[in-house]
A and B are shown apart, each in its own frame.
Chain A
Amino acid sequence: MIPIEHYLFLSSFMFVTGVVGVITRRNAIVVFMSIELMLNSANLVFVTFSSYLGNVTGQLVVFFVMAVAAAEAAVGLAIIIAIFRNKLTVNLDEINILKW
């Protein structure tokens, strides 16, 4: 039996990787991938605790998180494609007309 700390460590690592990715990367699609990584690390936490506590709720939440992530992916990629059609770039540093 692998102790629960290992799973939690792995998911925290995934989460931090995602956060660092969002902050440091400049390509909108890579940033979005990092966000998906954050959501999946949360899924891992839910599944871990679900199995550890012997409680099904966690696995149920994972379904919802996955469905929500799919909806977000559909909308987000549509926005990114629309931006690309307009500006021919998805680099976040070049998408900056809104400022004071």
Chain B
Amino acid sequence: MTFTVHDLISLSPVLLIGVGILATLIIEMLVKESEKILGWFTFVLLLSVAYLSLILLDHTALVFEDKFLTGGRVNIFFFLFSFGAAVVSLLSMEYIKKAGIHFGEYYIMLLSSVLGMMLISGATDFIMIFIGLEQMSVCFYVLAGFNRRNERSLEAALKYFLLGSFATGFLVFGLGLIYGAVGSLSITEIVIGYETLKTSPLFLTGTLLFIIGFSFKIAAVPFHMWVPDVYQGAPTSVTALMSTTGKAAAFSALIIIFSPIIQAAYPSFFTPVISVLAVLSMLYGSIVAISQNDLKRMLAYSSIAHAGYMLIGLAAWNEKGVSGVIFYLVAYTFMNLAAFGLISLIEKRDLRGTEFSDYKGLGFKQPVLAGLMALTMFALSGIPPFAGFFGKYYVFLSAIEAGMTWLAIVGVISSVISVYFYLRLIVVMYFDNSDEIVMVTPSTSAMLGIMISVLLIIIMGVAPGSIINLINSTF
């Protein structure tokens, strides 16, 4: 195994972030009050990784003994992870001060989880996916419980940890069976042997266990029970990270695994499994979200529903579906980043103040924040001309093209239901009044992060075609 210069250049986003993690560790060790510089250091580092992955879009290379692929679609994911995490680091700077968890380790964990996501999205081998997924998840367990004096944060961490590692158990056992059936964990080997494998009970059981394990990670019903508790209890900036880039990473793995396998044998036995997961997630997420009183919890249920919409694109599995899912992931990432960023601003010092009743009259007292929040809610509910609408549009269109019109219909019904709870927040903000609202002066860094996200939501809504073309050009 030797590296050529081309390999090293193609790998540079991953290498840069790896070196960056070690650098943050050393800074944290040697510099007193390192947390003051680490926030901006992380931001600049992630931004340069995002830039590198965009300019290396056509540097395709297969490295690490053919276990890791870079270039093309993978780099789009690299960009999404690092840019999303950069926005999160902007949102975090003031928030973690407010929450009393202003430690440099926060940024080290953030960077390590991004490295894990990158390992997932470039993997061409199940072992790489496993390692990346675990690196990401372990960092998320730590981050969820970062506020170790707060009971809710700890409870979220414990639940996330226990259910997450339970899912890992399924995943690894599934991998064991797949390994037994194929004799290798390489995805190309599976595609080559697919004709004989598709009748092998060992392979099918293994794949089913693997899908169960992964459904936990992408939070599809019926494996969603950790999501509301974890999203509510974890520090808001951490929720922003794991609900967006974390979910995108898990989806990227599904796209990588299934794109060759399903292309070899469409429609395969996975299609009904994924369709069922999609329908359950959409309907359950939308219906249960109606009855929530906590905004973070409501967004958790809505994220379950969003996972369902994205699964439609995977079930339909045509070019439109895959690029639609990627578009949806990008749109969803920035919509949720904006929403959680705003929540983290309005949240009080004791980490309460995420209930609907805390938003009463926000429209008059804090017109800027309320306006941005209203815009984000419109985008999340899929009202044109924002990014959320086109995400849903592409995904539903792909389902119709694949002859699965019923899936698209269920999706539309679920979106109509979801409009209710997104608009409820807007109604609360503009039509209710309350005297007890606390005035907040948003910090520059957090506002910058929110503005970037909102701007991207609008751009993706106004000019979705150019972004879809960019995604399509990487196939």
A46 contacts which of B158, B166, B179 (Cβ < 8 Å)?
A: B179
Contacts of A72 in B (CB 8 A): 134, 138, 141, 161, 165, 168
Q: How many residues of B contact A (CB 8 A)?
A: 44
Closest Cβ of chain A: how far from B158's Cβ, in Å?
A: 5
Q: Answer yes or no: A98 CB below 8 A from chain B CBs.
A: yes
Q: Answer yes or no: B232 CB below 8 A from chain A CBs.
A: yes
Contacts of B94 in A (CB 8 A): none
A99 contacts which of B162, B172, B229 (Cβ < 8 Å)?
A: B229
Contacts of A71 in B (CB 8 A): 134, 138
Instruction: Give the distance in Å from the alpha carbon of A83 to the alpha carbon of B232 in the complex.
Output: 17
Q: Are A45 and B177 in contact (CB under 8 A)?
A: yes
Q: Answer yes or no: B52 CB below 8 A from chain A CBs.
A: no
Most A CB contacts (10 A, CB to CB) among B134, B184, B232 go to B134
| Chain B residue with Cβ nearest A82 | B148
Considering only residues 128-181 of chain B, those with a C-beta below 8 Å from chain A are 130-131, 134, 138, 141-142, 145, 148-149, 151-152, 154-159, 161-162, 165-166, 168-170, 172-173, 175-177, 179-180
Q: Are B157 and A79 in contact (CB under 8 A)?
A: yes
Contacts of B141 in A (CB 8 A): 72, 75-76, 79
Instruction: Give the distance in Å from the alpha carbon of A28 to the alpha carbon of B155 in the complex.
Output: 11
Q: Are A86 and B176 in contact (CB under 8 A)?
A: no
Instruction: Give the distance in Å from the alpha carbon of A80 to the alpha carbon of B145 in the complex.
Output: 10
Q: Are B155 and A97 in contact (CB under 8 A)?
A: yes
Instruction: Give the distance in Å from the alpha carbon of A62 to the alpha carbon of B180 in the complex.
Output: 14
Q: Are B173 and A42 in contact (CB under 8 A)?
A: yes
Instruction: Give the distance in Å from the alpha carbon of A4 to the alpha carbon of B141 in the complex.
Output: 37
Q: Are B162 and A35 in contact (CB under 8 A)?
A: yes
Closest Cβ of chain A: how far from B351's Cβ, in Å?
A: 13
A76 contacts which of B149, B165, B293 (Cβ < 8 Å)?
A: B165
Q: Answer yes or no: B183 CB below 8 A from chain A CBs.
A: yes
Q: Are B183 and A83 in contact (CB under 8 A)?
A: no
Q: Answer yes or no: B235 CB below 8 A from chain A CBs.
A: no
A35 contacts which of B152, B169, B179 (Cβ < 8 Å)?
A: B169
Q: Are B169 and A38 in contact (CB under 8 A)?
A: yes
Q: Answer yes or no: B259 CB below 8 A from chain A CBs.
A: no
Contacts of B176 in A (CB 8 A): 11, 42-43, 45-46, 49, 58
Closest Cβ of chain A: how far from B233's Cβ, in Å?
A: 5
0/1 interface trace, chain A 45-64, chain B, CB 8 Å (1 if under): 11011001101011011001
Q: Are B162 and A32 in contact (CB under 8 A)?
A: yes
Q: Are A35 and B166 in contact (CB under 8 A)?
A: yes
0/1 interface trace, chain A 15-28, chain B, CB 8 Å (1 if under): 10011001000001
Q: Are A64 and B154 in contact (CB under 8 A)?
A: no
Most B CB contacts (10 A, CB to CB) among A15, A60, A98 go to A98
| Chain A residue with Cβ nearest B174 | A42
Q: Answer yes or no: B105 CB below 8 A from chain A CBs.
A: no
Q: Are A39 and B169 in contact (CB under 8 A)?
A: yes
A55 contacts which of B152, B156, B184 (Cβ < 8 Å)?
A: B184
Beyond A42-B169, A46-B176, A55-B184, whether A100 also contacts B162 by CB under 8 A is no
Q: Answer yes or no: B291 CB below 8 A from chain A CBs.
A: yes
Contacts of A58 in B (CB 8 A): 176, 179
Q: Are A57 and B184 in contact (CB under 8 A)?
A: yes
Beyond A64-B131, A72-B138, whether A15 also contacts B173 by CB under 8 A is yes
Instruction: Give the distance in Å from the alpha carbon of A86 to the alpha carbon of B127 in the complex.
Output: 37
Instruction: Give the distance in Å from the alpha carbon of A60 to the alpha carbon of B292 in the complex.
Output: 46
Q: Answer yes or no: B297 CB below 8 A from chain A CBs.
A: yes
Instruction: Give the distance in Å from the alpha carbon of A9 to the alpha carbon of B131 in the complex.
Output: 27
A83 contacts which of B158, B172, B291 (Cβ < 8 Å)?
A: B158
Instruction: Give the distance in Å from the alpha carbon of A38 to the alpha carbon of B175 in the complex.
Output: 13
Considering only residues 83-134 of chain B, those with a C-beta below 8 Å from chain A are 127, 130-131, 134
Q: Are B138 and A57 in contact (CB under 8 A)?
A: no
11 contacts between A and B (CB under 8 A): A32-B165, A35-B165, A39-B165, A39-B172, A57-B127, A60-B127, A72-B138, A72-B161, A75-B141, A82-B148, A100-B292
Further contacts, 18 of them, CB under 8 A, given A35-B168, A80-B158, A83-B154? A11-B176, A15-B169, A19-B169, A28-B158, A28-B162, A38-B169, A45-B179, A49-B183, A68-B131, A75-B142, A76-B161, A79-B141, A95-B158, A95-B159, A96-B155, A98-B156, A98-B233, A100-B297
Mark A residues whose CB is within 8 Å of B. 11, 15, 18-19, 22, 28, 31-32, 35, 38-39, 41-43, 45-46, 48-49, 52-53, 55, 57-58, 60-61, 64-65, 68, 71-72, 75-76, 79-80, 82-83, 86-87, 92, 95-100
